Structure 1
Amino acid sequence: MFPSARYSLASKRIDILKPKKQDGLGSGSVMSNTANDPDPARRNNLALLLSMVHHRKVLSRVQLAKQTGLNRSTISTLIAQLVALDLVHETAPSGATQVGRPSPDVHPSESIAALTINPEIDAITIGLVSLGGNVIKKIRYETERIPSAQEAVSIAAAVIAGMRSELDANYRIVGVGIAVPGLVTPADGVVQHAPHLGWRNEPVAGMLAASTGYPTQAANDASLGAEAESIFGAGAELRNLIYLNGGASGIGGGIIADGKLLSGISGYAGELGHTFVRTDGSPCYCGARGCLETEVQQSRLLELLGLNGGELGQLEEALIAAERPDAQAEVERQLGYLSIALRNAVNIFNPGVILLDGFLSVLYAAAPAVLDSLLSSQSMSEPAGQVRVLRATLGSDLMLIGAAELAFAPLLMDPVGFLNSLAKG
């Protein structure tokens, strides 16, 4: 898998600009002030609050005030603006009783949603995800063969068309995010190369936008997965981690360093699936030999266990239950090559956590002590002593949540400006 250059969601930090007046608003109605105000402080603070509520799913006004440093009056009025825009809603406070007047809880609006597409070699998955990273609907359309870019777009557009009445009645769709197992140009959503899909120079974002009428963006699936886990999953609140995902289309990764996704000069950093692990290895799609994803493969595990794809839970159960020496040997063989790639990453990046996802998570679950021991013995002792290997937690929803973040990014950067542009078409 090849990561794409794009706007980094995990690295997005909105500076807290204190309003010029104590309440940060001046006079006038909520909507007129919000829609036309050129004050960057107000726009940035609206974006900040919406992003915080979206990423944390629920925060009280008191928590928002403490975490931003804005006074309660400013918080109250800014939240009122977001409520008026139907971007958040409030409920009675939950949890322990408070001294003084209770502080309402602020939630992201369930009516603001993004559509997501994840093409793979054996299926196209279409999702509907609301603010807060909640997956509302997921449709997996299995294909009999590897779909072309046009076929993937046609399938996705047809499924979305079938959902249109439900979408129009219940949601405001901010756009579509496409998670592609390949190298993507961020500015135009062109898939430069998706080797496992056989796509080259395919303008999938433009094709889908023309077919659906929704703003559409595309990015690499592993990069989106890394950021989704760093926001909503096992990597939440962690500033230094390595994410590695294994699927039917190979192995991809993402590196979060000091809270930011490493992109490199052109956005292609994090290519862990093409780490060199075997001198006499097989040829790889990238043109080299002995890459990690030529030695560590889901297909080998499925073939060995007599499985025909299916859910990862089924593979995990079969691997853990298997007492056959050949199955155990294959698990240890693949973990051995995985440890080579990970020891290099540990020595170079000094992460606090390595998150394994997809079939790599299943592989680790089958023999965790094997990988832990290899990583500890082969890496430099100092960084090895600081790193933990964890399984990603978002499961099969991961790519949908990550792709939705791609679609939500413009809204979170400038809520009012984006909604105004959306209304103008």
Structure 2
Amino acid sequence: MSSAADPSPRAHGVGGTTEELRRSNLARILGLVHRRGELSRAELTRLTGLNRSTIGNITSELRDLGLVTESMPESGVSSRAGRPSPIVAASGDVAAIAVNPEVDAIHVGLVTLGGRVSRRVRIETSAAPSSADVVELARAAIAGLLALQPTPLRIVGVGLAVPGLVRTADGQVRSADHLGWVDEPLTEMMAEATGYRTVAANAAQLGMRAESVFGAGRGVDDLVYLIGGASGIGGGVVTGGQLLTGAEGYAAEFGHTFVASDGVACTCGSTGCFEAEVTQGALLDSVGLGASEVDALAGRLRESTDPAVLDLVRRDRELVRIALRNAVNLFNPAMVIVGGFLAALYADDAIADLAADSIAASRESLAVAPALLGPDQLMVGAAELVFSELLLDPAAILGV
């Protein structure tokens, strides 16, 4: 492989190949430290196949751009003989703002490079917020979070994790049934209110993105993801390492999988939909918890001996199995990840049996696991959407 420091014909070809290679190497190294955590220059050399001199030049440039930090390992940490190799880590001063509106609250957080949620706030609402409510409350929360920072952050942009259908082309929210939204220009409104570049996508797909990069799905090329929240049930599919989006970005609406022939009406206008039959609100009510106490739901459900609670859990589990059977039979994933309140229905040892009704051959090597990132999933996923452009071409987004 040629590098910017290698005197090869490719490196000196026409059309700015040297510059293209430099930008590609910057993206490659930044992506590694962002997704894998801190790495020594020696490890980066081994992982990329680039020579030590090239790695040194790239990490120095990324450091000068303020995207990574370099430090010497603590005494005694390195087992290698000779001069210790500097440790490269994603900068904690570069951050994205994540916003996730739900029917009962708006979640706002700061997420730094490396997928770390540094601060977050939940703003409870008495009713489903309008798009204008979301923009105004988020704008105020962002100002408050940034004011608490001991040192200024370089904000790359705002990522919106929306519980609804978001058009890929322009971030228009086509519909968010639980919020009562139709054709809301939320992305444009947020950008105008905050002054930051703003991008948006379906919340569940962003949760899956976070789990794929930093969580249970890391390194898995064929994946189905299901998540339940206050605004319903969503999900996503990765097949052959590529996110399944559909023509406009609306694919994998698992919340509207048909699971009950005698089911109740859904906000989409149909009946028997997964998210109409299995709800976070009903489970919270069954064990006497409020909307803000969802983190305690799994423990309460496990401890309960109330026959009504046990019946509800039993029925919900059966409907989850129906939805999952359809997903596994359709997509033949290597892994299924279950997050949000859906994971609260299962103890870790029981969740593995979720796909027992699927085609035998499709589940022979299937792993079923709870999401690892917990409540951070949507924050991290929204930030990944923001960081994607920076990671693709660090120099370009910073204008150098």
Which TM-score tier does this pair reach, normalised by the shorter chain?
over 0.9
Q: Does 1:63 align with 2:33?
A: no
Equivalent residue for 1:228, pick from 193, 199, 210: 210
How far off is 1:259 after superposition? 2.0
Alignment partner of 1:308 is 2:290: yes
The alignment's TM-score, normalised by the length of structure 1, stands at: 0.87
The aligned counterpart of 2:325 is 343
- CA drift of 1:38 comes to 6.9
Q: For 1:23 and 1:405, how far apart are their aligned partners in 2?
A: 36
> Deviations along 1:68-120, whole A, 9 cap, x unmatched?
22111111111110011111011223644113332221100011011111101
In the alignment, does 2:245 pair up with 1:263? yes
Show the counterpart of 1:86: 66
Deviation at 1:188, TM superposition (A): 2.3
263-272 vs 402-411, which moves further: 263-272
2:6 aligns with: 22
2:25 corresponds to which letter in structure 1? N
CA shift for structure 1 position 212: 1.0
Aligned: 1:403 with 2:385: no
Matches within 5 A, 1:21-170: 21-22=5-6, 39-93=19-73, 95-166=77-148, 169-170=151-152
| Residue 200 of structure 2: aligned partner | 218
Deviations 1:256-305 (CA, angstroms, capped at 9, x unpaired): 22222111222222111111111121122222221111211111111221
- The answer (yes or no) to whether the contact 1:23–1:77 under 8 Å persists in 2 is no
Do the aligned partners of residues 98 and 360 (structure 1) sit closer, same or farther apart at CA in structure 2, a change above 3 Å counting? same
> How many residues align structurally?
391
Unpaired runs of 5+ residues, structure 1, are 1-16, 25-35
1:384 to 349, 359, 363: 363
Q: 1:23–1:104: structure 2 CA closer, same or farther, 3 Å change rule?
A: farther
Q: Tell me which residue corresponds to 1:3.
A: none
Asked if the contact 1:302–1:309 (Cα under 8 Å) also holds between the matched residues in 2, the reply is yes
C-alpha spacing 1:196/1:23, structure 2 compared with 1 (3 Å)? farther
Change (3 A) 1:368 1:277: farther
Answer whether contact 2:227 2:339 (CA < 8 A) is retained.
yes
> Is 1:353 the equivalent of 2:332?
no
Aligned residue in 1 for 2:11? none
Distance 2:18 2:192 in 1: 32
CA distance in 1, matches of 2:242, 2:72: 35
Q: Compared with structure 1, are the counterparts of its residues 300 and 164 closer, same or farther at alpha carbon in structure 2 (3 Å cutoff)?
A: closer
Give the AA of the match of 2:378: M
CA contact (8 A) 1:23 1:74 kept: no
CA contact (8 A) 2:98 2:379 kept: yes
**What residue identity is the alignment partner of 1:383?**
S
Q: Contact (CA 8 Å) 2:313, 2:345: kept in 1 or not?
A: yes
AA of the residue aligned to 1:110: G
Q: Distance in 2 between matches of 1:57 and 1:381?
A: 38
CA distance in 1, matches of 2:37, 2:23: 21
Structure 1 contact 225–398 (Cα < 8 Å) conserved = yes
SS at match of 1:196: helix
Find the aligned partners of 1:142 and 1:90 in 2 and give their Cα distance.
Answer: 40
Aligned equivalent of 2:13: none
Give the conservation status (yes or no) of the 8 Å contact 1:186–1:217: no
CA contact (8 A) 1:61 1:104 kept: yes
Gaps of 5+ in 2: 9-15
Amino acid of the structure 1 residue aligned with 2:59? I
Structure 2 CA distance for partners of 1:313 and 1:169, relative to 1, 3 Å: closer
Q: Take 1:226 and 1:263, find their aligned partners in 2: how far apart are those partners?
A: 12
Partner Cα distance (1:116, 1:374) in 2: 31
304 and 148 in structure 1: CA distance in 2 versus 1, 3 angstrom threshold: same
Cα RMSD (Å) of the superposition?
2.0
Matching residue of 1:11: none
Partner residue in 2 for 1:209: 191
**Once structures 1 and 2 are overlaid, which stretch shifts more, 412-421 or 139-148?**
412-421
Which residue of 354, 358, 372 maps to 1:393?
372
* 1:202-223 deviation per Cα after TM superposition (whole angstroms, max 9, x unaligned): 1111111111111111111000
User: Which of these residues, 408, 414, 423, is aligned with residue 393 of structure 2?
Assistant: 414
Normalized against structure 2, the TM-score is what? 0.93
Give the distance between the partners of 1:126 and 1:146, measured in 2 at CA.
Answer: 16
The AA in structure 1 aligned to 2:2 is K
Aligned counterparts, 1:268-279, within 5 A: 268-279=250-261
Say whether 1:283 aligns with 2:283. Answer: no
Cα deviation for residue 187 of structure 1 reads: 3.0
The CA deviation at 1:381 is: 1.0
**Percent same amino acid at aligned positions?**
47
Deviations 1:105-142 (A, max 9, x none): 11000110111111011111110111001111101111
Q: Is the 8 A contact 1:47 1:413 kept in 2?
A: yes
Q: 1:289 to 1:77 in 2, by over 3 A?
A: same
Asked if the contact 1:167–1:173 (Cα under 8 Å) also holds between the matched residues in 2, the reply is no
Question: Is 1:323 the counterpart of 2:305 in the alignment?
Answer: yes
Pick 1 or 2: higher relative contact order, CA cutoff 8 A, min separation 6.
1
What amino acid is aligned across from residue 221 of structure 1 in structure 2?
A: A
